[in-house]
A and B are shown apart, each in its own frame.
Chain A
């Protein structure tokens, strides 16, 4: 690495992959294992993205950590990949040979010497809401993002840490691993191809006012349900709302909460039907007698996922109701939630009183926040427009909503598309 006069460090590589969720990790690994140099850029202090937050995958009901474990090993042992966490792409310039990127990296304040011994977090006096668990619990200001996080290092949240005013972690760390003087880094990256794989955010459920999110603590999103079911989550895998008493006799899943809706996301988020069926299974495993209502417009279990749908239909305590949920409100007498749905075609109204409402909120592409520093690259919904065949190869859920299997498939393909570009540039 050479240092530029203007403070930029230079990196030359074949391929840059932006986003280290399952799409970016897969694309980076596949390219690197074919012999190409890869710079993998991630904005979070950890890799794994959304799948790291999931408890289980459908339809095999297996933990994502299993595949991530293998991928992390591949990543760690491959010298062809350089990983930058806490990093963002600020500028993209097209050149004759390929691309030049400007990348900034925020300080972690914890260096490579960290042995994850955990003494720092023990003494840290400041807490922060745990965004990994959607605010359902807290971490210290110096924290490890999740149990099997990679890089396996602590990180300081500068919004909460008191730094020199406190220094308690600094004093207790035996390995000189904490460095309050770490600064922002700037990189100038020359590459021949770029894969953009920054994934999705859950659609903001507070915008679904009629569905009671934010108003009633027992209205949660499907992603919160994943954290509640996870043994590494805020309740250690017990499905309950922290600091809220409820007897889980009946649960409602509200499909298309914000999806297939012109006032919110006009597209179908593709995974929510199966996600709710899977989560119905989570509930069933812990609560054998709980009744589960799934309100839907169309059930979309494409391909062999139909088998999984049939499996849930065999459960006598899972009831499917066709209809779009119009309203969720609290019965003032017994404090339970009332879910009101209407079948738009038949006009049939359904009302159910339940103890927990899970909103199957959809996928908002992260690119809708205009994070790609290029013009004319996204469509009106914020998805990357791959057909433009410009400088970048979009991949994963920032191109269109899809499930993990399809994401990995597309990511492997994206690596090939990048290789074709690299070879053409040579």
Chain B
């Protein structure tokens, strides 16, 4: 631990702080205990002159760490940035002055404790010099459909080398099958030509793009900036290195043979929308019907989609696709009656204008309805019975052709029955029973946590799909297009640009040794003191980002460029051998141990609170702005993620005599709000071990509480605090206190 020689402590007495605590007394106490090079009070620390003064003192006295005891670190972090100086912020305004009784003994003790904890953290931290490794800036795009092609061009046009891998013998994917495209531009009335051949030729002639067709990925190992790829091209192994990966492996149509109730496979004139599209594109509709004109055609929407027995979700593109195909029929057979049977017509945004246009065409009839019976009538036609329509309770149609608007299944989705060799494990490495759904093996990562991007429901790769749609759990690997969610061509193109951005962004950041989202720019990274590792594998299992691989014995093999700096590995490690330069079990323990615990007869309990800095901590700032008071016996330690809380801190605190411990993190579960996906969930799981610890110490289980909350639920925090303080009061003091 560093001493006070190069430490500056600056205490603000503005914004009510001076009126709530005796700052002079804090200075005296701090000087006595730490003897810092500088320890000053100012009634307005954030004013430009004083900040200038701090900068001068850093220079003159060669300070390498500074404690600013003022407002919440959520404010003015840009102002209190002094380059390569450790800066620790102590929140005297929100967590003391605005939430506790002014000039009270308890408030004074609280303020001093926070300042001491801040100093201890600063003294034990090092400035996190970035880890800069030699990296490769090439981008691998897997999949040569519209998404992959657009991504490749975006990266190549911004100066990056691209390797584009396609498993088929030609580029274009499903998009190439399209005869025309539903309107994508104003006035949204006209079908547009499919220009994918132009895009393909741009890709194939681009000096920055290397195209590998008939190519399958066999193995990818490494980390962002240094992924080693084994691929086979026409059966020959090739090896190369890339810096980031875009997975644009697209979709496949839902297996229409499962739709026998809609006549598929039974009748040759029941086709899928893709089959019909190809017939039109190849000008083979007449041939298919032996030159006889089609008199009546029925489009069946949601064929296999929005159906709990098939695909429960909506495939998004099928409504506009059928509207488009209805126009093909209008052109080919102007007299044909065209029926579109739907559950809801889903033409969001400007597709609505196209829908109106199709609706106004002669001979096109759209109705809500359900196909209740479909049969062949012997003369080659299909009889359909449709119920619950808007026109009549029941209608009958005789059709020459039925087109099933089948939906989209992501290429990452495999039913175990469909692929026997995958039956053993999922992409996340979990064992599954036959009949279960597993992720397909496409990227073949050598990651300890599985071969591919972890999947969400229905086989779509996991992402935080509202605020940060590209944040997959495998850093440097970004899914784009229909593999990520059902979407139309416009969205695919937007998505491919988005994934391209993330790919070049991760490269530019690892070049500088910086983390990507959500701790963007963080230059700290976990150090492993492996001599003491017991190969318990907790870190390698629990990292939500699959950062750590293992050697044969189970020793973790760090991949710092995959790391997102949440510290969940650090929280998991029972040997406490994982640490960051500015965040470690030892640093936090030193803070916990720095406080004087009043003896039991003083009747001043001490409660330690670990708060997630992403949601719970900001929420507590709102409590402060609303000037809501809570128990002065609580001591708050912000953590990067609740998953980074190591049990040693709880054990240390309990054996030191803290009366209770409370953990507050983000909500977990299917709709998790944790920015590190599983942090709060893991913290909750570890509570079992905490209870074990309590038993060993012969302490009541109620002394440790765990809560989750969303950032808006600020009102709950004082309630949680006060109720817990009451619980602790009832339990009485921790017997270790006076030992």
> CA A266 – CA B313 in complex, angstroms?
27
Distance from A372 Cβ to chain B, minimum over Cβ atoms (Å) = 15
Nearest residue (CB) in B for A176 is B47
- A residues in contact with B496, CB < 8 Å: 413
Given that A343-B390, A420-B154 are known contacts, is A115 also in contact with B349, CB under 8 Å in the complex?
no
Nearest 3 interchain pairs by C-beta:
A67-B467, A413-B497, A412-B498
Distance from B626 Cβ to chain A, minimum over Cβ atoms (Å) = 9
Can you name 13 extra interface pairs (CB under 8 A) apart from A147-B625, A409-B491?
Answer: A29-B520, A33-B516, A66-B673, A70-B517, A74-B521, A175-B14, A307-B313, A346-B390, A379-B186, A381-B350, A409-B495, A416-B498, A420-B157
Return the CB mask of A393-426 against B: 1 if under 8 Å, else 0: 0000000111011101111111111011001100
Are B351 and A268 in contact, CB atoms less than 8 angstroms apart? yes
Out of A345, A383, A404, which one reaches B466, CB within 8 Å?
A: A404
Interface-facing stretch out of A55-63, A98-106, A210-218, A245-253: A55-63
Are B158 and A420 in contact, CB atoms less than 8 angstroms apart? yes
- B residues in contact with A270, CB < 8 Å: 348-349
Residues of B within 8 A of A (CB): 14-16, 44, 46-47, 71, 74-75, 77-78, 81, 154, 157-159, 184-187, 306, 312-316, 344-353, 356, 367-368, 390-391, 457-458, 460, 465-470, 485-487, 491, 493-498, 500-502, 504-505, 508-509, 516-518, 520-521, 614-615, 618, 622, 625, 666-667, 671, 673, 675, 710-715
> CA A71 – CA B517 in complex, angstroms?
10
Out of B46, B187, B497, B509, which one reaches A380, CB within 8 Å?
A: B187
The yes or no answer to A385 lying at the interface (CB within 8 A) is yes
Out of B349, B485, B508, B712, which one reaches A34, CB within 8 Å?
A: B508
> CA A300 – CA B78 in complex, angstroms?
44
Nearest residue (CB) in A for B495 is A409
Out of B348, B469, B518, B614, which one reaches A401, CB within 8 Å?
A: B348
Task: Name 21 interchain pairs, CB-CB below 8 A, sorted by A.
Answer: A33-B517, A35-B508, A63-B712, A70-B468, A74-B521, A115-B15, A152-B75, A174-B14, A175-B14, A231-B714, A303-B313, A303-B315, A343-B390, A345-B391, A379-B187, A385-B186, A405-B469, A413-B493, A413-B496, A413-B498, A419-B501
The yes or no answer to A267 lying at the interface (CB within 8 A) is yes
Are A298 and B346 in contact, CB atoms less than 8 angstroms apart? yes
> CA A409 – CA B488 in complex, angstroms?
14
Out of A64, A148, A304, A386, which one reaches B460, CB within 8 Å?
A: A304
Are A310 and B312 in contact, CB atoms less than 8 angstroms apart? yes
> CA A322 – CA B343 in complex, angstroms?
12
Given that A60-B671, A385-B186 are known contacts, is A175 also in contact with B344, CB under 8 Å in the complex?
no
- Contact count A vs B, C-beta below 8 Å: 236
Question: Which of B351, B466, B520, B713 is the most central at the interface, judged by chain A CB atoms within 10 Å of its CB?
Answer: B466
> CA A148 – CA B15 in complex, angstroms?
18
> CA A105 – CA B77 in complex, angstroms?
25
Distance from A44 Cβ to chain B, minimum over Cβ atoms (Å) = 20
Out of B159, B315, B348, which one reaches A268, CB within 8 Å?
A: B348
Question: Which of B154, B346, B491 is the most central at the interface, judged by chain A CB atoms within 10 Å of its CB?
Answer: B346
| 301-337 of chain A: CB within 8 A of chain B | 301-307, 310, 322
The yes or no answer to A30 lying at the interface (CB within 8 A) is yes
> CA A116 – CA B71 in complex, angstroms?
10
Out of A74, A118, A302, which one reaches B316, CB within 8 Å?
A: A302
The yes or no answer to A78 lying at the interface (CB within 8 A) is yes
> CA A79 – CA B78 in complex, angstroms?
8
Are B501 and A304 in contact, CB atoms less than 8 angstroms apart? no
- A residues in contact with B159, CB < 8 Å: 423
Nearest residue (CB) in B for A414 is B497
Nearest residue (CB) in B for A346 is B390
- B residues in contact with A70, CB < 8 Å: 467-468, 517-518, 614, 675
- B residues in contact with A380, CB < 8 Å: 186-187
Question: Which of B16, B485, B496 is the most central at the interface, judged by chain A CB atoms within 10 Å of its CB?
Answer: B485
Are A303 and B521 in contact, CB atoms less than 8 angstroms apart? no
Are B505 and A66 in contact, CB atoms less than 8 angstroms apart? no
Are A33 and B350 in contact, CB atoms less than 8 angstroms apart? no
Nearest residue (CB) in A for B511 is A35
- A residues in contact with B458, CB < 8 Å: 304
Out of B14, B466, B509, which one reaches A405, CB within 8 Å?
A: B466
- B residues in contact with A73, CB < 8 Å: 74, 77
Nearest residue (CB) in B for A266 is B353
Are A62 and B466 in contact, CB atoms less than 8 angstroms apart? yes
> CA A66 – CA B306 in complex, angstroms?
31
Out of B71, B491, B505, which one reaches A406, CB within 8 Å?
A: B491
Nearest residue (CB) in A for B714 is A231
Nearest residue (CB) in B for A58 is B466
Distance from A290 Cβ to chain B, minimum over Cβ atoms (Å) = 22
The yes or no answer to A230 lying at the interface (CB within 8 A) is yes
Out of B185, B615, B666, which one reaches A387, CB within 8 Å?
A: B185
Out of A346, A400, A411, A419, which one reaches B349, CB within 8 Å?
A: A400
Are A424 and B712 in contact, CB atoms less than 8 angstroms apart? no
- A residues in contact with B615, CB < 8 Å: 66, 69
Are A300 and B346 in contact, CB atoms less than 8 angstroms apart? yes
> CA A70 – CA B487 in complex, angstroms?
27
Are B671 and A412 in contact, CB atoms less than 8 angstroms apart? no
Nearest residue (CB) in B for A397 is B349
Given that A62-B673, A147-B625 are known contacts, is A34 also in contact with B466, CB under 8 Å in the complex?
no
> CA A115 – CA B97 in complex, angstroms?
14
Nearest residue (CB) in A for B621 is A148
Distance from A121 Cβ to chain B, minimum over Cβ atoms (Å) = 12
- B residues in contact with A375, CB < 8 Å: none
- B residues in contact with A31, CB < 8 Å: 501
> CA A267 – CA B457 in complex, angstroms?
31
> CA A304 – CA B410 in complex, angstroms?
12
Are A306 and B614 in contact, CB atoms less than 8 angstroms apart? no
Nearest residue (CB) in A for B184 is A387
> CA A295 – CA B313 in complex, angstroms?
22
| 141-163 of chain A: CB within 8 A of chain B | 147-148, 152
Are B352 and A268 in contact, CB atoms less than 8 angstroms apart? yes
Out of A62, A118, A304, A420, which one reaches B313, CB within 8 Å?
A: A304
Nearest residue (CB) in B for A413 is B497
The yes or no answer to A128 lying at the interface (CB within 8 A) is no
Are B500 and A416 in contact, CB atoms less than 8 angstroms apart? yes
Out of A35, A63, A268, A424, which one reaches B711, CB within 8 Å?
A: A63
Are B671 and A61 in contact, CB atoms less than 8 angstroms apart? yes
Are A69 and B614 in contact, CB atoms less than 8 angstroms apart? yes
> CA A73 – CA B711 in complex, angstroms?
15
